[in-house]
Structure 1
Amino acid sequence: MWQGTVTLQPGLLIYTGQLGAAHRHRHAAVQVVVAQDDPVRLRDESGTSCRGRAAVIPSGVEHETAGSSAGMLVWVDADGMLGQALTSRVRRTGLPADTATAWVAAADPLDVDRVMAGGNPRALADLILGELADAGTLDATPAHPAVRQAVAVLPAMLDDTVHLGQIAKEVGLSASRLGHLFSDELGLPFRAYVRWARLRRAIDHVRAGGTLTEAAHAAGFADSAHLTRVCHEMFGLAPSLLAGGMDWQESVV
């Protein structure tokens, strides 16, 4: 039974609560699994199973989970710095990256009892990702004023196609310079940041009582099917489940 809280910000979706079974699926984000109580069973595309209290599952690999435990799931954009660092960690195990044994081995150094001892979901995710990715977390408050301005003007543009050059003109920089700043300061390429911003806008609309079609149009998706497909591709979850089936903790972004 999936029952817990969700926090979403560009680059990260964090679920904290009761972990349940998930049938075979694959998604575009890198997924970190942390089971606070009992180990969960992971099965890869070949049918091989491996049990563990923590795992790093790369993007694009087919997998399923079974078991019941309190814990945390973190989806990290595969194109960002954290996602790339997590994927590299799986590869450094020396095991095939599409196997359950590699996913569990990649997270083996994590002291689950220590990192899950307390704190809000974002703080816990920061600690887990900091250890597994050997990198800093995504910065919610970019230092460069042009990036702060770009992040501020972006939401008003989400109902249409968003071009990097358009926003760069708004903030007085070249498109290439602004693109580099997004990656350096937010840990995400510009296009990935826009995708996460659209997902957040759509989910907020559904939470406020809008239909999936209304939410899709408000966030710049072609229709509800497009929104649902992107949400499934990213997280293996339906937008209706994210919006209506779980409690939400507001992001600092």
Structure 2
Amino acid sequence: MQHAQLFAGSGTSARLSYYAPGASMAAHHHEVHQFSCLLIGEFLEAHAGHEREIGQPSVGVKPAGLEHYNQYGPNGALILSINLEPSRMDEYLPGCSTDWRWQAGVMAGRERRSVLALSSLPRGSQAEAETRICDLLAVMTPERDRPASASPGAAVPGWLARVRDALRESETSPDLQRLADEAGVHRVHLSRVFAREFGVPPSLYRRRCRLARAIADMLQGATLADAAHSAGFADQSHFSRFAKTETGYSPNRLKTLLAAA
């Protein structure tokens, strides 16, 4: 586990955290409300007998004191978290809910721009940092009179879970047509059902898994070129561009931030 503090103010802070492949955290709680953005990777979060599999860019909320357990996926996870003292809740988020939830498929457009704005904070600018944190909290939290995100639905069909596992765990970037053939479905049907179930097209999911593997290798000591090659990127610059697009950080910047923590 590696952490980098991005900002610490009066009653609020922002932190970037990286969890290695297969890592876990025993049941624990936080003294603050926590608002999190999964930037890359996957993990499972459990609370009071309920489990949520969190995959692809997602946003989540945990109220202070919520007991929970985490198990991180085979490619690790990079998470941006905003911590908010309960006493500051009405100041920052009047009328908003802190019920435990994770919502996938919302890290686009306005939400993603707010995350990327927080990743490029100028040094020593507390007022600007708090402004950007407010912007991000606003897009992460529904007001109490809005419906909360839907609870998990039916179990993922077996054939679709196998496709996801092949994309997530293989280092060879399996061909989607071959996976469709093995599942006995049309290639277009695979894409349609995958996107509906997981909130992202399978081709983008595959690229994000590739990015998570490259980041894991880099943080375990591989050179950028070797990490890019082993994860299946065309070259180091391709890896760097995609990392910057997806997380707001270049690989070098990410490595420097977490090494200094």
Q: Which of 188, 198, 201 lines up with 2:210 in the alignment?
A: 198
Q: Write the letter of the residue equivalent to 2:186.
A: S
What's the CA shift for 1:132? 8.4
* RMSD between aligned residues: 4.6
Structure 1 gap ranges (5+): 17-30, 39-50, 69-98, 112-130, 248-253
% identical aligned pairs: 21
TM-aligned CA distance change 1:208 to 1:13, over 3 Å: farther
Mapped pair 1:172 → 2:172:
no
* Residue from 171, 188, 193 that aligns with 1:181: 193
Contact preservation (8 Å) 2:214, 2:228 = yes
Deviations 1:150-171 (Å, cap 9, x if unpaired)? 12322565545x5432221122
- Does 2:180 match 1:135? no
Aligned to 2:162: 149
Give the TM-score normalised by the residue count of structure 1: 0.50
Distance 1:132 1:195 in 2: 33
Paired residue secondary structure (1:135): coil
TM alignment of 1:1-253, pairs within 5 A: 1-2=5-6, 5-7=17-19, 8-9=41-42, 10-12=55-57, 34-37=82-85, 52=92, 57-60=110-113, 63=117, 65=121, 66-67=125-126, 105-106=138-139, 109=142, 134-136=148-150, 143-155=156-168, 158-159=171-172, 163-242=175-254, 245-246=257-258
Kindly tell me the number of residue pairs found equivalent between the two proteins: 172
Cα deviation for residue 145 of structure 1 reads 1.0
Structure 2 CA distance for aligned equivalents of residues 230 and 195 of structure 1? 9
Describe the superposition over 1:152-208 as per-residue Cα deviations: whole angstroms up to 9, x where unpaired.
Answer: 322565545x54322211222111221122122222221221121111111121233
Counterpart of 2:112 in 1: which secondary structure?
coil
Relative to 1, partners in 2 of residues 1:154 and 1:100: Cα closer, same or farther, differing over 3 Å? Answer: closer
d(CA) in 1 for partners of 2:258 and 2:135? 30
> Does the CA-based 8 Å contact 1:146-1:171 persist in structure 2?
yes
Name the residue aligned to 1:82.
none
Corresponding residue for residue 46 of structure 2: none
Distance 1:32 1:154 in 2: 24
Q: Structure 2: how far apart are the matches of 1:244 and 1:100?
A: 22
* 1-structure distance, mates of 2:134, 2:159: 44
Task: Please tell me whether the aligned partners of residues 164 and 175 of structure 1 are also in contact (alpha carbons under 8 angstroms).
Answer: yes
Q: TM-score by structure 2 length?
A: 0.49
